Amino acid sequence: MFNLLIKYLIFIIIGYLSGSIMFGYLIPKIMKNIDVRLVSSDKNPGTANAFINGGVVCGIITLILELLKGFLPIYLSQFFLDYNHLLFIFVMISPVLGHAFPIYNGFKKGGKCIAVSFGVLLGLIPYITPILLLSFWYIFFSIILVINPHSLRTLITFICFIICSLFIVRTISILIGSIFISFVVILKHLKSVKKLDNKGFYFIYKKHET
């Protein structure tokens, strides 16, 4: 039992430390000598600000690394751990918590956890139900029923993801892990949503008058 706990603890630590690497800050700083925490409107060291302030190449590299820091710890853990075990919940959420509350920054100045959350769910492959659900809602609210601004879209996306997961995801550890991840993302976006003046949604496909 003790050896089992140690195995899970090792991957929890690896996941947290991996999540704490703020590529959204590091890549623009290295490539463009830009501190996105200073020049962006929301001061967030995330992928979107890497695209906006660093350009397409900088943004793509940041996105790939942000996905990988969530993907790799979870994917590799499945070779050593049982994802049906309840302790796997903590393995799942560790990269997201690392990104939200990075140890390298004194548990402050973390990101909003979108890309790393996708990375974690991708890491569950071959179990693809959670990543398909989250991707569906993100795409739906981005190109069908468009919700603006981005922070409100993200919040509603993850709320819908929680609701659907309750009915579709059958593995208890992955279900609870997905819910906790969603709560972290929602928490990180609540402050931004409360500050918004213009909130709304619209269908992107409309019938044109003839």
Which of 164, 58, 187, 179 minimizes the C-alpha distance to 121? 179
What is the C-alpha to C-alpha distance for residues 156 and 153, in angstroms, rounded to an integer? 5
Asked whether the beta carbons of 63 and 111 are under 8 A apart, the reply is no
Alpha helices by DSSP H, listed for 101-203, are 114-122, 129-139, 150-168, 172-194
Asked whether the beta carbons of 145 and 157 are under 8 A apart, the reply is no
One digit per residue, the tens of pLDDT, for the chain of length 210 reads 788 899 999 999 999 999 999 999 999 999 999 999 888 877 888 898 999 999 999 999 999 999 999 999 999 999 999 999 999 999 999 999 999 999 988 888 889 999 999 999 999 999 999 999 999 999 999 888 888 788 889 999 999 999 999 999 999 999 999 999 999 999 998 877 777 665 555 555 544 443
Q: What is the pLDDT of residue 208?
A: 42
